[in-house]
C-alpha cells in the first residue's frame, strides 16, 4: 500500500508531463502483451516442418498434411504451406511467387505495432527531457531580485524534473528491450519460413526430375 501511495505521489510530483508518459507506457505494455501472444500462438515451430532436407516422397501427403493441419489457421507455417500442399497442381514458379507474397504478408502481420514501440523508445526520453526543462524553469522563476523567494517551490521544481526524466527513461528502456526481442524473433521466424519453403521447393524439383527420368 505504501509503495502505491509513493507511486501516486511521484506521479503528482512529475506534473502534467506524466500524462503523456503514462499513455506511452500503457501503449508499450499493450503492444508487448499483444505481440507476445501472437508469437506464442501463431509462430510455433513443429520439428518435422523445419527439416531442411526434402521430405520422403513415400507418404508425403499424409505426413505433411497432418503436420500442417494440426496448426492454428493463422499459424505462419500453415499459411506458408498453402502453395506447397501435395494436392496443388500449380507450376513451381507460381508456387514460389505465391510463397513470396505470403511471406511478405506474414512479416507485416507479425510485425504489427513494432513501429509504434520503436517510436516510444525515442519519444519517452524526449518527453522526460521536456519535463526536466519545465521543472527547472519553474524553479528558476522563484528566484527574485532579492534572492530566493520560495525554497519549497524550488525543490518541488527540481523534484518534478527528476521524476519526469526517470519515468521517461524507464518507459524507453522497457520498450527498447521489448522491441529488440520481437524484432529478433520476427527475423528468426522469417529465416525459418525461408528454410521451410526452400525444402519444399527442392523436393518438388526433385520430383519433377524423377518424372523426367522415368519418361
Q: What secondary structure, in 3-state letters, does 132-193 show?
A: HHHHHHHHHCCEECCEECCHHHHHHHHHHHHHHHHHHHHHHHHHHHHHHHHHHHHHHHHHHH
Number of structural domains found in the chain? 1
* Residues in the chain, total: 215
pLDDT in tens, 89-110: 778 878 888 889 999 999 999 9
User: What secondary structure letter does DSSP report for 147?
Assistant: E
Using 50, 70 and 90 to split pLDDT, how confident is the model at 166? confident
Using 50, 70 and 90 to split pLDDT, how confident is the model at 145? very low
**pLDDT value for 118:** 94
Rounded CA gap, 125 and 69, in Å?
46
- % of the chain with per-residue pLDDT over 70: 64
Please, what's the b/e burial string for 109-119 (b: 16 or more CB within 10 A of its CB; e: otherwise)?
Answer: ebbebbebbee
Q: What is the mean pLDDT of residues 140-165?
A: 58
For helices 151-214 and 18-42, what crossing angle results, to 10°? 20
Question: What is the separation of C-alpha 134 from the centre of its chain, rounded to a whole number of angstroms?
Answer: 33
Rounded CA gap, 75 and 61, in Å?
19
Rounded CA gap, 55 and 199, in Å?
8
Global pTM? Answer: 0.75
**pLDDT value for 200:** 80
Instruction: Provide the domain limits for residue 155.
Output: 2-214
Using 50, 70 and 90 to split pLDDT, how confident is the model at 84? confident
pLDDT higher for 155 or 70? 70
Task: Inform me whether the pLDDT recorded for 16 exceeds 80.
Answer: no
Task: Inform me whether the pLDDT recorded for 205 exceeds 70.
Answer: yes
* Average pLDDT of the chain, as a whole number: 76
For the chain, what is the largest distance between any 2 Cα atoms, rounded to a whole number of angstroms? 104
Q: What is the mean pLDDT of residues 183-200?
A: 88
> Is 1 in a helix, a strand, or coil?
coil
Q: What is the mean pLDDT of residues 38-45?
A: 84
Task: Give the CA distances from residue 89 to residues 94, 199, 203, in Å, rounded to whole numbers and listed in that order.
Answer: 10, 18, 14
Task: Inform me whether the pLDDT recorded for 1 exceeds 80.
Answer: no
Q: Which of these ranges, 52-56, 105-109, 193-197, has the smallest mean pLDDT?
A: 52-56
Q: Of the spans 54-63, 93-102, 181-190, which averages the highest pLDDT?
A: 181-190
Task: Inform me whether the pLDDT recorded for 2 exceeds 50.
Answer: no
Rounded CA gap, 76 and 65, in Å?
15
Amino acid at each position: 500500500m505504501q509503495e502505491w501511495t509513493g507511486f501516486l505521489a511521484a506521479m503528482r510530483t512529475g506534473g502534467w508531463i506524466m500524462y503523456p508518459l503514462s499513455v506511452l507506457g500503457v501503449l508499450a505494455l499493450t503492444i508487448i502483451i499483444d505481440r507476445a501472444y501472437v508469437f506464442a500462438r501463431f509462430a510455433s515451430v513443429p520439428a518435422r516442418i523445419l527439416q531442411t532436407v526434402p521430405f520422403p516422397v513415400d507418404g508425403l501427403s499424409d505426413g505433411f498434411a497432418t503436420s500442417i493441419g494440426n496448426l492454428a489457421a493463422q499459424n505462419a507455417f500453415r499459411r506458408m504451406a498453402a502453395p506447397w500442399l501435395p494436392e496443388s497442381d500449380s507450376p513451381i514458379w507460381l508456387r514460389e511467387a505465391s510463397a513470396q507474397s505470403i511471406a511478405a504478408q506474414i512479416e507485416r502481420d507479425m510485425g504489427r505495432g513494432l513501429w509504434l514501440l520503436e517510436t516510444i523508445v525515442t519519444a519517452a526520453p524526449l518527453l522526460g527531457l521536456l519535463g526536466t526543462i519545465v521543472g527547472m524553469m519553474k524553479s528558476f522563476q522563484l528566484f527574485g531580485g532579492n534572492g530566493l523567494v520560495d525554497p519549497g517551490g524550488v525543490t518541488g521544481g527540481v523534484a518534478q524534473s527528476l521524476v519526469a526524466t526517470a519515468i521517461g527513461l524507464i518507459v524507453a528502456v522497457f520498450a527498447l528491450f521489448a522491441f529488440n526481442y520481437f524484432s529478433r524473433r520476427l527475423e528468426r521466424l522469417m529465416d525459418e519460413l525461408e528454410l521451410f519453403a526452400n525444402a519444399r521447393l527442392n523436393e518438388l524439383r526433385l520430383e519433377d526430375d524423377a518424372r523426367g527420368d522415368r519418361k
